[in-house]
Amino acid sequence: MVSYTGNNVSVRRLTNGKLPSLPFTRLKEAVLGKKYDLSIVFVGSKMSQEINKKYRKKNKPTNILSFVLSEESGELVISLGQVRKDAPNFNKSYLDFLGFLIIHGLLHLKGYDHGKEMELLESKFSRKFGF
């Protein structure tokens, strides 16, 4: 297991390989603020499918899942394999799509649902961070 912790952000990789290089803390602070406690867990496709089935009743792997733990904390569960697979469908590189998905997940933690307002915020933060 590879991990990183800093400024109210914990990042763990429960699969082989190194952590992707993204500004996790800056992304979290831009969307959720400095005080928010965020955990990001990178998992394999099998674990992603199990979690997706348990919590969303969808028996397939997914690229990202967002879990609000409290008003000031939450967790993102990300399948890097699924991110790699899905990135070309969005005409993005793997890292750009991963950055976009983290923004997407953070906005869910902030309480946004899919729709025009969320899409506008995704575009705003994606431009800010170059995704």
Which CATH number does the domain housing residue 75 bear?
Answer: 3.40.390.30
Q: How far apart are CA 33 and CA 58, in angstroms?
A: 31
Q: pTM for the full model?
A: 0.89
pLDDT at 113: 93
What's the token pair of residue 8? 């109210």
Q: Which residues of the chain have pLDDT under 70?
A: 1-7
pLDDT at 16: 78
Nearest CA among 116, 8, 106, 55 for reference residue 98: 106
pLDDT at 18: 78
Task: Give the full edge-to-edge strand order of the sheet including 2-6.
Answer: 2-6, 9-13, 37-43, 73-79, 64-70
pLDDT at 1: 45
Residue ranges making up the domain that contains 64: 2-129
pLDDT at 5: 56
Count of domains for the chain: 1
DSSP annotation of 8 reads: T
pLDDT at 7: 65
pLDDT at 17: 76
pLDDT at 2: 46
